[in-house]
Amino acid sequence: GAANGRPQLSSAMDFDDLDDAIEARMAEGDTTGLEHFVQNKKVLKNFDGRLPPMPRGKGLPAKKQETGTQGESKVRVRAFVFYGPGDTSDVLMPVVGALPKYMEAAVYEWPGHGLRSEEPHARDLEALAADAFEALLPALEEVKEGGEFEGAPFVFIGRSVGCQIMTLVAKTILHRFGMVPCAVVVADRAPLEFPLLSAEGQAALNSNPDKVVKAFNYEYFDVIDKDLFKKDLQYSAETRDPFFHKFECNMMVLKGKQDASVDEPRKTTSRYKMSTLRIKGSNETFLMPVLPNTKVRDLTETLSSVFAFKPGAKLSASSPQGKELEHISNVQDDMIIDGLVDFKHPRYSWPHPVCIIGAGFSGTKMAMMYMHHKYENIVVFDRHAEAGGDAWLNASTKHSRVQTDVGAFNVWYGPEFTFSGDKGFGTAPGNGGRDIFQKSFKGPGAPPEGTGAGTGVDYHPVRAQVLSMMQYAAKEYGITEHTRFQTEVAGLKVVGDPEADDRYYELSLKDLSTGQSDKTCKVSVVYHFAGAYDFNRIIDYPGEDVFGGQVGYGMGHQNQGGVFCFDDERMKGARVAILGNGAFAIENVRSCVENGAYKVFVVTRRKSLACPRLPCWFCHQGPAPTPSGMLLDMLKPMYMATGFGDPWDYYAVVTNASRSDVTIRQSSRFGIGDVGFLCSAYGLLEYRIDTLNHLTHHTLHLNSGEKLENIQHLCKALGLIGDHRMDKLHNLTYKIGPMANGDWRRLISGDATGMDAKRFTTFSAGPAALSFSQQWYYIHNHPWEYKQAVDQGMMKLLPVHKLSSTQPDQPIYMTNVQYEFTASVMLSSFFPLSTRVGSEEGPFKYCLLHSMHPMDKFHEYAQADWDRYQAMFRENNNCGDREFVPYPYTKEMVRSWFDEYSKRLGINITPSGPTEEFKRSVIVKAQNLDLYLQLEMIPQLVRMTKLHGNLKEGEDPFALATASFVYEAKKALTASSPESALDFDEVAYDAWRHWVAMDYTCSFDSIDCKSRMMLTTPEAWEKIMPCIKKLAEVPDDE
């Protein structure tokens, strides 16, 4: 019979009926009570093709902005990664995103974690595994029997509780589809018959959870999310019997070699002791491992090197009673340190200052990152008299404004800046002095009544506001006092062996206010933000001398082809031609019509996609990247209402027949804004897909034979080529990523050209500047990780950029987005621990955009500005007889995007944005993560000083000095043998053999790390990938 539509097991059934009922229930995913009715592994087709990107959702979050694939997919195998307690997908995303192209990896996000942090935790392991199965289901259905890609291989990779999850999921997959992974990788976990916690440990987790959490996270107890870790540990106590499941595939078990150190106190007494240090005038303390004969002088010099904000700070130590200790005396168990502010901002101390060349947007952001971390041994050089950079001080006109919303462009973009400086989310209302930069503005570049069309806000600030914003931030973070304005770096010499650790860079400086060039400066690290928006591509056309009208360039200096004047009386009623179709060409259209032009022709080889304001804002607020196909659908209302045609028909769109795999690829970036579209609707703007041949009097002769007559102005916007002087300064012959001639301590950067993406995180400078500053601040403060990457040969794998063959007029330091994306992803994979720095960016930007630009206010502002321009066109641009054009986007339409996004990506977002509680939690998590990453590097920084200059091989003073506490705190809590504090006994790991079916192997390997760091350790992936490649039968040449 059947109840509720589901076949029931009945004693009246014969065996055939029983089999049918079981199969029917398994097909529905209902395996309750059927645990021992094992479904046999089916024989599927032998898949020998390539796989498209797998379906993603809230449980399998999409990567950050992803480049479009060149040609067909190279994916032959999929991997599903299951992390452990306290982790999030963002931590692993850069690592798995940089794996070989033959494998696409997705990270399962638990409810209550990361992008799903607002969801309740799963009640138990069974519910967690059920959620994981649902997350994987769309991808699994593609490769099951009868699926589009039947038989395509997939692998499971798990750590700790993740191993428990994947085991339950594997069983469900076998029951439902008769399908198994081609390989399984286990890390940091014994099989499921072994609980992590003992009975005493489980009781303590319920009665005194902080005790248990601290025992497992002693070094970082103060900064981790204790409640999250406690809930995650509950799953680790659940067990299954050894007959629960057999993996019908090969298994690799990875263990961390460093785990064994926790049991050292069983064998020997450490020669190190902990000295408790307290900062004078505060209650902040720090435990420093010392030897009995360690001298006070060595201790204070070490503390100064690691913790002092300014270089060379002199410290003193005294007894708890206040008696100053002699430098040559031995350290005491308790001491008071005078001369430090805190123990929370350690850094690697280079012998000479860290140098930043260029005080524009990216240079200011890099300096903010250093000053945020209280690293004050920096020097900034800039040719100008104030912060702003070439782009905004030279190249922009007074009519220029931020094309994207200031939410993504603001210099405070980044979780770090929510809890430093004026604090809060960017320029949101109430954020100290910052909030003025999104208010309506009266001044240069603004209409007489002010910006914002009467709404009181300005979400696309003009040039004057942008410059004030950067200059405010420079003062807010104390950068100005470290900056030498009107100073040009005229020469750069590498002193010493270019490969030697003790090399430095000698800069020759020219004082532009006096003309003197007699000063030099020694620096240890160079960040050169050379800029990309200052030098026009100069092209002279035949007949310019007889044209008889204004000919100039829309950006740049007078001596770079001539500055184009928009605001004299000649523009009123004029006909204008603009050559080019990039973002600046679109801005020039706006400048022309604002000053009374009656007609603007854009002459371009190909018509590139542009983006209206609201779709841009929507992509910026999304916590995960917006798919290209969804973006094109959002463009469509504006395009169709203003005569731009169907965006899906543009040359930049590369897609399959079903439009499920979409890449937007064009040579220029989006022009962002609504005005260009409105100009088209009003007949003020027309495109000509053509090129200019020559000029005669007020006439453009195009190569098609068409003439554009009665043209009074010719504005060239033919692209920007960067500054060749920068290549000469560095004697640049190639770049590896941003590394000048491959030198990891000398970086040169300019905005990459073009667009090539399947998903969009941003169209603005803020996220890229944040990512760069986060990554390289981390690397330059973790030099040991760089050296490890070099020793392992990783840096030789990075792509090399030389002089462009397609744009030979570009300097070498300028690259395109494809190169930058590939190099950045690979670099992240070589420094997997660095990826944790940006792990909170998704939730952060969701909070940021809704705090700065709430949906309703943003729509009100965009619509009001649209109508302001309509009134202007009627009055000033000879459009009085034109019909009113309703704003193409309604609030209801925008709200529907949230529903579509949530459905497509499985991430629940709302038009009202995150709750205030969620916003506070994002700031707290970011602050804790920042502190965690600082505290984490202290042991290594101290080991590199002379305080511990006589270390034995493999000796870790911090681990040895703290081992006694951890050992005593943990040994009764874990289910390993009574005298061990290990998570599991060695014999327990060996029991994984019994979870693998006959005819398959279970291999074991050890990695030189702690097991909890396994999935972010390059050595582990070097072991994993060859195994997967072989079992998935990937050809050797891929």
**689-747 per-position pLDDT tens digit:** 999 999 999 999 999 999 999 999 999 998 888 889 999 999 999 999 999 999 999 99
**742-768 per-position pLDDT tens digit:** 999 999 998 888 888 999 999 999 999
Of the pLDDT bands very low, low, confident and very high (cuts 50, 70, 90), residue 667 is: confident
3-state secondary structure (DSSP) of residue 782: coil
Whether the pLDDT of residue 532 is over 80: the answer is no
Whether the pLDDT of residue 141 is over 50: the answer is yes
Q: Are 315 and 335 in contact (CB under 8 A)?
A: no
| 43 to 21, 47, 145, 257, 259: CA distances (angstroms) | 22, 12, 9, 39, 41
Say if residue 73 is exposed, middle or buried (CB neighbours under 10 Å; 0-12, 13-18, 19+): middle
Of the pLDDT bands very low, low, confident and very high (cuts 50, 70, 90), residue 72 is: low
Question: What pLDDT score was predicted for residue 269?
Answer: 74
- 898/120 Cα distance (integer angstroms): 21
Residue 869 region, left (φ>0) first, then alpha (ψ -120 to 50), else beta?
alpha
Whether the pLDDT of residue 431 is over 90: the answer is no
- Going edge to edge, which strands form the sheet with 653-655? 653-655, 662-666, 755-757
Whether the pLDDT of residue 560 is over 80: the answer is no
User: Read out DSSP for 861-876?
Assistant: HHHHHHHHHHHHHHHH
Q: Are 696 and 543 in contact (CB under 8 A)?
A: yes
C-beta atoms surrounding 708 within 10 Å: 21
Query: Could you tell me whether strands 599-604 and 575-579 are parallel, antiparallel, or unpaired per DSSP bridges?
Result: parallel
Cα torsion through 476, 480, 483, 485, rounded to 10: 130
Q: Work out the average pLDDT over 973-1000.
A: 94
3-state secondary structure (DSSP) of residue 290: strand
Whether the pLDDT of residue 657 is over 80: the answer is yes
- HEC string of 41-69? CCCCCCCCCCECCCCCECCECCCCCECCC
Cα torsion through 739, 742, 743, 746, rounded to 10: -20
Q: Are 679 and 82 in contact (CB under 8 A)?
A: no
Of the pLDDT bands very low, low, confident and very high (cuts 50, 70, 90), residue 574 is: very high
Strand ranges in 439-598 using DSSP code E only, listed in sequence order: 483-484, 487-495, 504-511, 519-523, 525-529, 550-553, 575-579
pTM score of the predicted model? 0.83
**Helix-strand-coil split of the chain, %, nearest 5:** 40, 15, 45
Say if residue 291 is exposed, middle or buried (CB neighbours under 10 Å; 0-12, 13-18, 19+): middle
Whether the pLDDT of residue 3 is over 60: the answer is no
Whether the pLDDT of residue 6 is over 80: the answer is no
Question: What pLDDT score was predicted for residue 204?
Answer: 95
3-state secondary structure (DSSP) of residue 287: strand
| 769 to 374, 414, 470, 529: CA distances (angstroms) | 19, 9, 13, 11
Question: What pLDDT score was predicted for residue 30?
Answer: 58
| 720 to 396, 583, 747, 807, 824: CA distances (angstroms) | 12, 11, 21, 11, 23
> Which residue in this structure is represented by tokens 């929507």?
618
Q: Which two tokens stand for residue 189?
A: 């976990």
Of the pLDDT bands very low, low, confident and very high (cuts 50, 70, 90), residue 206 is: very high
User: Read out DSSP for 876-927?
Assistant: HSS-TTSPP---S--HHHHHHHHHHHHHHH-----TT-S-HHHHHHHHHHHH
Return the minimum-mean-pLDDT range out of 429-433, 761-765, 774-778, 1034-1038.
1034-1038
For the chain, first and last CA: distance in Å? 54
Q: Which residues contact 539 (CB under 8 A, 6 or more apart)?
A: 716, 718
